[in-house]
Structure 1
Amino acid sequence: MTRPDTVRFLRTEPTMAFPEGRLLAMREAQLHVLAPDGWTRLAGTRPTGATTLTRQDAEDWCEREGWDLHLLDQVPTLA
């Protein structure tokens, strides 16, 4: 039996366009941002100032921002 892939969630610093910041997810060393059409892969490294979130914090962020909680389970894998 294999363990499920670990997903780490982060939040970017607030901006005028995104007062609550953007939700990021890291899986298999690949960074993704939650966008209107789902998770979008980002090139590069973790943004400066991004803070680590627990799964519960990510769920709370989704609820505040009106995102479906099931998206947290749909972070793409490299395979």
Structure 2
Amino acid sequence: MDVRFLRTEPTMAFPRGRLLAVRGGRLTVLAPDGWDPVGGRADHAEPITREQAEDWCEREGWPSDLLDAVPTP
């Protein structure tokens, strides 16, 4: 099942935005304890490529193998 990645708009708490993923229609956010489901929609999030998601992980200090751990609904 394919995964799409998105990045939220920057905020004071998250100056580089947050990393979101959609798999099987389920929206999740990368949190300290892994991928957490998010209710609602990501209307203002920007779609990004897998490579951009890997770059985001590197800048934020997250291991990029988390991108392979997006849960299946």
Matched, 1:53 2:51: no
1-structure distance, mates of 2:41, 2:24: 13
Output the aligned Cα RMSD: 0.6
TM-score between both structures, scaled by the size of structure 1:
0.90
2-structure distance, mates of 1:71, 1:39: 8
Runs of 4+ in 1 over 2 A off after TM superposition: none
Please name the residue that 1:34 is paired with: 30
List runs of 5+ in structure 1 lacking aligned partners. Answer: none
TM-score between both structures, scaled by the size of structure 2:
0.97
How many matched pairs? 73
Give 1:17-28 correspondences, 5 Å limit. 17-28=13-24
Choose from 61, 64, 69 the match for 1:69: 64
- Give the share of equivalent positions with the same residue, in percent: 64
Residue identity in the other structure for 1:45: R
Partner-residue secondary structure (3-state), 1:40: strand
List runs of 5+ in structure 2 lacking aligned partners. Answer: none
1:6-30 per-residue CA deviation (whole Å, 9 max, x = no partner) reads: 0000000000000000000000000
Partner-residue secondary structure (3-state), 1:32: strand
